Structures are given as C-alpha cells and as structure tokens.
Amino acid sequence: MKVAEHINEFLPTTLEKMDGVKLLSRSDTKFAFSVNILEDLINRLTPFYNVLEIDGKRKHDYKSLYFDTEDRKFYNDHHNQRVNRHKVRYREYVDSGLVFLEIKCKNNKGKTIKKRLQVDKIYDSLTADHQNYVDKIIGFPLKIKSTQWINFSRITLVHKKAKERLTIDLNLNFHNNQNKGNLNKIIIAEVKQERMKRSSDFIRIAKEMNIYPMRISKYCFSSFNLDNSLKQNRFKEKQIFINKITNN
C-alpha cells in the first residue's frame, strides 16, 4: 500500500481549524528515520491524528530560500550550540499560495519562537523593508545574503485531543549555485507542542518502532553537504547515522 493511500485513512482538517495549533512559540522534538518504515508509522498514527487537507491535497510542497551572513553566523551559532540563535528564510507554502519571510529564534530555554511577515514572493535578496524587519526581530543589524534553497514535501498532522502538531517531511532536496544534494531516503518528523510532553502519541509509537529523538537541522545538514569548508565536527555523528540509513 502506498503512503498516499495511508494518508487518505486520516480524517481531514483545514487551515482555519489549525489556528489553535499554530504554536509559533513552542517546544520541538525532531526524529529522523528511514523512508522504508513511513507507511507502517502512518498507519499506527491514524487513530490519534487528523491530517491537513488543502484543495483535496494532503501532501504539500514547501520551497525555502535561506539567508546567512558572509561568515555564516547562523550556521556557526548552531554548530557551536549557541543559545538565542536564529534562522532567516523566505518560505513558500506552494499549495496555499502563501509566502512568508520567517525568522526562527531558539532561546536559552529551549523554546523555538517564529516570527513571520507575509510577502508577495521569494526574493533573491532582502528588500529594504524586509531587512528592517529582520533587524528588528533579531535586535541588531546584520548584513545577510541568500545561501541555499531547501525544498521538500510535508504531511501535517494535528492531534485529535492534545494541542500538538506533527510534521512529516519527505523528498528533501537542496541546492546552491554550485552544488546540490538530497535526503530522499530520510524522513524528518517533528512534534510541536506548547511545552514538552512525553505523553505524545507520536513519541510513544515512535519509541515502539525504535525511532528516537534526534536533533537535526535541515539548514545545517544541507549547508555542510553543499560546502565542505564549513566547520562540521559536531555534526559528524549525525552524518554517520544518516549515511547508515541511506546506504541500507
């Protein structure tokens, strides 16, 4: 049975009904695992979650253009495990036709806070107004430029009872002007909650399937795969894990 057929077993929800679980300030728990077990996982999740449906589609495409400083401050802050670190991107939610300039901040309490501004399109470089918005959110001026595209498909699930959202990302690919790569054999799932609760049905089911939390950043992983000159020693264990899954 195909993944699409499993997704059709969920009851649908809409963007309007998701307003209560936007969770722009939240705790995130990420997981990475082989695409080969995705169908079984989705089947086990069906009793507990509804799926986001837009115009009859339940798997949605995302396009993102990320920005960083010339010396890759955002990447290095993440690599060096700095608190109060940021990511800046334009993101197009293809199926809904919405585009946002988004700034994500991971604070010293482990919370992810996302601020965003709706825009008309993805720009290759920040407009003056968009630069001002980024500077205001971050708190100081930073000269940043586009570094890479990251595109993927996403299944978004909403828990039927708890204030919890679950995203399942697949078909991940990335590129810059020189190189390209993909994680087509890897699924990245993320549980988004107001505060961390291990009682999550996804976390319970994942543990039963020997899927365990793993901190993995699409931006950081794609960055050092596109540019081998970047510092990456803290990510080597994750790279080994990803390679093991990919090569099986």
Q: Which two tokens stand for residue 83?
A: 């608190």
Burial annotation 194-225 (CB, 10 A radius, 16+ → b, else e): eeeeeebbbbeebeeeebeebebbbbbbbbbb
d(CA 209, CA 219): 27
Smallest CA-to-CA distance from 9 within 35, 44, 60 is with 44
pTM attached to this predicted model: 0.90
CATH hierarchy code of domain 3-247: 2.40.320.10
pLDDT in tens, the chain (248 residues): 478 788 999 999 988 877 655 555 557 889 999 999 999 999 999 999 999 999 999 999 999 999 999 999 999 999 999 988 999 999 999 988 899 999 999 887 777 888 999 999 999 999 999 999 999 999 999 999 999 999 999 999 999 998 889 999 999 999 999 999 999 999 999 998 876 666 799 999 999 999 999 989 999 999 999 999 999 999 999 999 999 988 87
* DSSP element (H, E) containing 242: helix 236-247
